[in-house]
């Protein structure tokens, strides 16, 4: 098919300006074997690894368009588990350049919590769909799905303390704390003594702290229950005729409410975080206060109790309260075990935090704030009166509020962005902030000719002239009385025009005036004495030329490139076109149902395109004012519209977050670019049309670049249709576990699992056809797919097909196979096991899962009996062989180690271990000395 019109594709380069999203949490991470210096923070749909010392972005972990809602760094700090809005979990390897290890589709809605166990082998995920899933990291698949809560999950932990490995604890907005047995997948204990929603859980030793919607945090003590005592107590109750509660007979632990902790902050508790050693607990609410608590050891608690009793004795002057030292443990209270540390007051609301307890009793607290910044504090756990110190802060790399305006320089090498508190200048290539200027609320911005100055329109109606090089405001002009919505340059570059809500459009001309505040010293080389003269510096200024008064508020203006027409978008949903020289009325373009928010005129002054709050874009002829076409452009208001230079193609962005390219001649939508998470406010296109930059409510600036890759509209439309079909296709009922109707599988049907099932079907059909043809004609040519995979037998072809399926999609793919195909696959498994015993793990997993799902029809079929016996014998022998091989290798290595140790007379690797310890000790000493010097 030939191309009717040549379109070139735009690709997303990167997004910047965002430091940390407010929806997800932040974590410390280890990178290049350095701890405490690097952090991971969610940035819209990406996760950024920041270097706190240099304030630079080190790595960016990418997946797709979905927003990051939770993240968790593994106990070894080398892997990051990231949860997304669509219920998927992606695991990245920081030591391998941020490469994705596996992708898991687990939930139907956003992930709310992720938590590793102590070894980093298992991962528990909680979601807004009220369910929890236990993931086996090594197997890269979900193992259990826990269903029982009635509201979104807020926190979850593995309860590995007290030697209870198969128990998990979860909290929810349904005011309940549930204890789960992971083997049976059922809840054996529920705590219901909280009156409000539970937002966080934390564990320190045998204590469990629950943060709820009140200013107090309940503290529970967990103790392991002796199973013999449980049986005897149950027997005694049964003999006495008393009712035996399930809690008493099933629960392997006792949970006792031993008091509460009173927070100084108001409102609900948002986060509870403990350091890896579980000595310090930090919490924060909906305000700007971080509270820290130190949990004492038994000896420290006894000392605190002895001091407290001594004070009471002195106060009462009595010896009645004298106790023996051995009995102090019985009198320990919660106030003796918990010590309040210094609190930290931040300047903005806190979104999340993470803590790390280092050497010299120094507590590092990492805080992400609501104003798109990250701060690192240091607190001494031993000092009482010493205030917290701020060590690092990341705020320069992004705006502290939503970006409302964006502009590009004439050479497209610099990007300007304006928000409610500042204007920032960015380098396009490195995407680093070059200048930052504090201003009021910016609504519009544009580079002046020469790119030395920038014009800023404020919400107050003022017009600012900013010197880019000096990062200084040259002049503040009271141009309008209300919001200044639009600034445009005149086509002859000799002036500009402004439109405001005060119903006026003003024309301005540029002029250079003397600035008495700034003077430049130059040397006069003509004079022999080299006398120094003082030269006045010229700065840009604006001279008011003319004013056009209208009856409605002006929201957008544009001047035709031929300097003939002035188009004004008004609040009354019309566009008025005037002659530029006389301001005489020329045309009125009416047809929109809601106010005009943006408009632009093509390079040849023949077409005007308008965008409105009614979600439509209308294309008009500027000669007669006729509407060529009305396009339903976005699902919400169209916020910005710009033509590409020397073309009739234009870009639009809307409050639905999408960025779209259109053709004003054929009225076709060309492509939809990856948009913002939330609303898209403004866009700017370079003068050559090669670069596009947009801004939105997710606080990201997104840069796009035009490539040399041609696109065809039919292909783009087909891809969009497939994407919509895939979203609808991957929805369905959850599959129950056979014979256990109350339990559901941990996996979830996805497009990948459906494609994997189709791949298995296709593979079996190819194998069947190839075998039939080879029986008739021995010299049968291989199928193209077999050639592509470089296999020569059907056995290898089937095995490679199963290996290429992701571990997380394997179970769902096998579930989608019809029973006839399952029988055919089972018949081929014995030959697979015999010839490829090296893949016994994958083959046994497939065999066992198929038997679990189709147990009844398989056991009921008589012709499958011999196949069952053969499979059982083969699997048993091969698994035993593999087990014996691993055991033999393990014991052989241990024997070699013992022989080496006896022969050399030293512990194996002892010298290397000691050398490493010495190097680490020296490195810590150098870092401590360097930190002290920096503080001085």
**Which residue would you say has higher pLDDT here, 406 or 97?**
406
The predicted pLDDT at position 717 comes to 85
Q: What percent of the chain has pLDDT over 70?
A: 88
pLDDT for residue 614: 95
697's tokens:
């409510």
Per-residue confidence (pLDDT) for residue 787, from 0 to 100: 86
Q: What's the average model confidence in pLDDT over 63-89?
A: 92
SS3 state at 762: helix
**What is the structure's pLDDT at 5?**
72
pLDDT tens, 298-318? 888 888 888 888 887 777 664
* Tens-place pLDDT, residues 810-852: 888 888 888 889 888 988 888 888 888 888 888 888 888 888 8
Mean pLDDT of 495-507: 95
| Strand partners of residue 682 | 695
pLDDT confidence of residue 733? 58
Q: Which one has a higher pLDDT value, 169 or 936? A: 169
Specify the range with the lowest mean pLDDT, choosing from 85-94, 276-285, 519-528.
Answer: 519-528
User: How far apart are the C-alpha atoms of 29 and 36, rounded to whole Å?
Assistant: 7
- C-alpha 222/C-alpha 192 separation (Å) is 16
pLDDT higher than threshold 70 for residue 394: yes
pLDDT single digits (tens) 868-883 = 888 888 888 988 998 9
| The Cα angle at residue 615 between residues 568 and 499, in degrees rounded to 5 | 20
- State pLDDT tens for residues 609-651: 999 999 999 999 999 999 999 999 999 999 999 999 999 999 9
pLDDT at 901 > cutoff 60: yes
Confidence of residue 911 (pLDDT cuts 50, 70, 90): low
User: Which residue has 């604006």 as its token pair?
Assistant: 542
**pLDDT tens per residue, range 459-491:** 999 999 999 988 899 999 999 999 999 999 999
Residue 439 has pLDDT above 70, yes or no: yes
Banded model confidence at residue 96, pLDDT cuts 50, 70, 90: confident
- pLDDT value at 725 more than 90: no
H helices of 251-341, in order, are: 298-316, 334-337
Report residue 910's pLDDT band, with 50, 70 and 90 as the boundaries: low
Q: What is the pLDDT of residues 562-599, one digit of tens each?
A: 999 999 999 999 999 999 999 999 999 999 999 999 99
6, pLDDT greater than 90: no
Average pLDDT for residues 898-903, to the nearest whole number?
79
C-alpha distances (whole Å) from 519 to each of 93, 410, 466, 513, 823 are 55, 28, 18, 13, 90
pLDDT in tens, 918-930: 877 777 776 665 5
Q: Please enumerate in sequence order all residues whose Cβ is within 8 A of that of 97, keeping only pairs 6 or more positions apart, or say none.
A: 59
Residue 808 predicted with pLDDT over 50:
yes
pLDDT band at 244 (very low <50, low <70, confident <90, very high): very low
Q: What is the pLDDT of residues 197-212, one digit of tens each?
A: 999 999 998 899 999 9
Residues 6+ apart with CB under 8 A from 798: 763, 764, 767, 828, 832
The string of DSSP letters for 879-901 reads: HHHHHHHHHHHHHHHHHHHHHHH
Distance of alpha carbon 615 from alpha carbon 637, whole angstroms: 5
What's the full length of the chain, in residues? 936
Q: Supply the mean pLDDT for the chain.
A: 86
Cβ atoms of 143 and 746 closer than 8 Å: yes
Q: Residue 352's Cα: distance from chain center in Å?
A: 13
What letter would DSSP give residue 400?
Answer: S
Given pLDDT bands bounded at 50, 70 and 90, which one contains residue 342? confident
Give pTM, 2 decimals: 0.85
Three-point CA angle 411, 417, 422, nearest 5°: 135
Q: What does the pLDDT read at residue 934?
A: 44
Which two structure tokens, joined as six digits, stand for 344?
């930290």
The per-residue pLDDT for range 177-193, each reduced to its tens digit, is 999 999 888 899 999 88
Q: How far apart are CA 539 and CA 710, in angstroms?
A: 45
Is the pLDDT confidence value at 432 over 60?
yes
Residue 544: per-residue pLDDT: 94
The model's confidence at residue 445, banded by pLDDT at 50, 70 and 90, is very high
| Predicted pLDDT at 312 | 78
- The confidence score (pLDDT) of residue 935 equals 44
Give the whole-angstrom CA distance, residue 106 versus residue 81: 13
* Distance in angstroms (rounded) separating the CA atoms of residues 275 and 356: 5
pLDDT at residue number 477: 94
User: Is the pLDDT assigned to residue 529 strictly greater than 50?
Assistant: no
Q: Going by DSSP bridges, is the β-strand pair 554-559/350-357 parallel, antiparallel, or unpaired?
A: unpaired
If you average pLDDT over residues 18-44, what whole number do you get?
91
Q: How is residue 348 annotated by DSSP? A: S
Between 623-627, 721-725, 766-770, 901-905, the lowest mean confidence (pLDDT) is in: 901-905
Distance CA 14, CA 59 (A): 12
Cα dist from 94 to 79, 614, 670, whole Å? 6, 46, 38
- The pLDDT tens digits for 779-792 are 668 888 888 888 88
CA 814, CA 803: separation in Å to the nearest integer?
Answer: 13
Span 666-717, pLDDT tens digits: 999 999 998 899 999 999 999 999 999 999 999 999 999 999 999 888 888 8
Contact criterion met (CB below 8 Å) for 125 and 145: no
pLDDT of residue 33: 82
Q: Is it the case that residue 793 has pLDDT exceeding 70?
A: yes
| pLDDT computed for residue 227 by the predictor | 63
Indicate the burial class of 300 (C-beta count within 10 angstroms; 0-12, 13-18, 19 or more). Answer: middle
Return the pLDDT at 606. Answer: 94
Q: What is the mean pLDDT of residues 756-782?
A: 84
């Amino acid at each position: 098919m030939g191309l009717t019109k040549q379109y070139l594709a735009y690709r997303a380069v990167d997004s910047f300006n965002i430091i940390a999203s407010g929806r997800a949490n932040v974590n410390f991470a280890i990178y290049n074997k350095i701890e405490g210096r690097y952090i991971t923070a969610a940035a819209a749909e990406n996760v950024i690894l920041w270097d706190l010392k240099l304030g630079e972005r080190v790595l960016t972990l990418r997946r797709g368009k979905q927003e990051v809602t939770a993240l968790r760094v593994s106990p070894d700090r080398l892997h990051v588990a990231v949860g997304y809005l669509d219920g998927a979990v992606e695991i990245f390897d920081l030591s391998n350049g941020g490469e994705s290890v596996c992708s898991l589709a687990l939930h139907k809605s956003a992930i709310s919590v992720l938590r590793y166990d102590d070894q980093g082998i298992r991962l528990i995920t909680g979601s807004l769909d009220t369910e929890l899933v236990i993931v086996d990291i090594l197997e890269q698949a979900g193992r259990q799905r826990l269903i029982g809560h009635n509201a979104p999950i807020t926190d979850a932990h593995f309860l590995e303390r007290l030697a209870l490995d198969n128990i998990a604890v979860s909290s929810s907005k349904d005011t309940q704390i549930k204890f789960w047995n992971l083997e049976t997948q059922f809840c054996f204990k529920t705590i219901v003594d909280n009156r409000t929603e539970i937002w966080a859980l934390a564990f320190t030793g045998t204590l469990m702290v629950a943060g709820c919607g009140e200013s107090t945090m309940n503290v529970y003590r967990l103790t392991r229950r002796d199973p013999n005592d449980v049986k005897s107590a149950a027997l005694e109750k049964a003999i006495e005729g008393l009712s035996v509660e399930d809690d008493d007979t099933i629960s392997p632990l006792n949970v006792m409410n031993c008091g509460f902790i009173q927070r100084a902050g108001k409102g609900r508790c948002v986060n509870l975080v403990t350091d890896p050693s579980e000595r310090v607990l930090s919490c924060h609410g909906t305000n700007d206060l971080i509270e820290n608590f130190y949990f004492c050891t038994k000896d420290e608690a006894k000392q605190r109790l002895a001091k407290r009793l001594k004070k009471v004795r002195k106060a009462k002057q009595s010896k009645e309260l004298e106790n023996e030292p051995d009995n102090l443990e019985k009198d320990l209270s919660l106030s003796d075990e918990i010590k309040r540390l210094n609190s930290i007051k931040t300047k903005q609301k806190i979104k999340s935090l993470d803590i790390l307890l280092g050497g010299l009793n120094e507590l590092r607290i990492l805080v992400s704030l609501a104003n798109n910044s990250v701060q690192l504090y240091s607190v001494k756990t031993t000092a009482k009166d010493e205030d917290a110190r701020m060590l690092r802060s990341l705020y320069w790399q992004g705006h502290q509020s939503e970006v409302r305006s964006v502009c590009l320089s004439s050479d497209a090498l610099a990007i300007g962005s304006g928000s409610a508190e500042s204007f920032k200048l960015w380098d396009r290539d490195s995407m680093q902030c070059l200048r930052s200027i504090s201003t009021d609320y910016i609504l519009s911005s544009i580079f002046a000719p020469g790119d030395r100055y920038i014009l800023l329109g404020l919400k107050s109606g003022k017009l600012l002239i900013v010197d880019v090089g000096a990062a200084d405001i040259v002049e503040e002009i009271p141009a309008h009385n209300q919001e200044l919505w639009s600034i445009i340059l005149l086509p002859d570059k000799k002036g500009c025009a402004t439109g405001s809500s005060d119903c006026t459009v003003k024309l301005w001309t540029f002029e250079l005036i003397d600035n008495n505040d700034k003077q430049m010293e130059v040397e006069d080389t003509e004079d022999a004495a080299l006398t120094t003269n003082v030269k006045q510096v010229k700065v840009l200024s604006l001279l008011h030329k003319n004013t056009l008064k209208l009856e409605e508020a002006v929201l957008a203006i544009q001047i035709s490139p031929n300097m003939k027409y002035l188009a004004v978008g008004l609040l009354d949903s019309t566009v008025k076109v005037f002659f530029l020289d006389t301001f005489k009325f020329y045309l009125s373009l009416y047809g929109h149902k809601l106010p005009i928010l943006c408009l632009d005129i093509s390079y040849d002054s023949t077409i005007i395109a308008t965008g409105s709050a009614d979600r439509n874009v209308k294309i008009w002829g500027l000669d007669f004012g006729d509407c060529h076409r009305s396009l339903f452009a976005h699902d919400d208001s169209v916020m910005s519209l710009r033509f590409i230079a020397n073309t009739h193609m234009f870009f639009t962005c809307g409050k639905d977050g999408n960025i779209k390219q259109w053709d004003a001649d054929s009225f076709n939508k060309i492509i939809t670019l990856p948009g913002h998470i939330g609303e898209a406010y403004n866009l700017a296109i370079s003068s050559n049309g090669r670069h596009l930059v947009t801004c939105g409510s997710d606080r990201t600036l997104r840069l796009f670049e035009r490539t040399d890759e041609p696109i065809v509209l039919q292909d783009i439309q087909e891809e969009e249709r497939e994407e919509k079909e895939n979203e609808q296709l991957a929805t369905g009922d959850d599959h129950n576990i056979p014979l256990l109707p109350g339990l559901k599988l941990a996996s979830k049907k996805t497009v990948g699992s459906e494609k994997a099932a189709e791949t298995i079907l296709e593979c079996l059909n190819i194998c069947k056809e190839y075998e039939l043809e080879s029986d008739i004609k021995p010299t049968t040519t291989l199928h193209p797919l077999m050639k592509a995979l470089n296999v020569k037998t059907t056995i290898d072809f089937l095995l490679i097909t199963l290996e290429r399926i992701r571990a997380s999609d394997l179970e769902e793919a096998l579930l989608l196979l019809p029973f006839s195909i399952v029988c055919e696959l089972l018949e081929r498994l014995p030959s697979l096991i015999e010839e490829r015993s090296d893949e016994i793990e994958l083959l046994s997993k497939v065999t066992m899962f198929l038997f679990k799902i189709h147990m009844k029809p398989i056991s009921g079929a008589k012709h499958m009996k011999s196949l069952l016996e053969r499979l059982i014998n083969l699997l048993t022998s091969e698994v035993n062989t593999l087990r014996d091989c691993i055991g033999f290798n393990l014991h052989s290595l241990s024997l070699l180690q013992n022989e080496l140790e006896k022969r050399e007379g030293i512990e194996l690797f002892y010298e290397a271990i000691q050398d490493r310890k010495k190097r680490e000790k020296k490195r810590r000493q150098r870092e401590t000395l360097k930190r002290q010097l920096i503080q001085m």
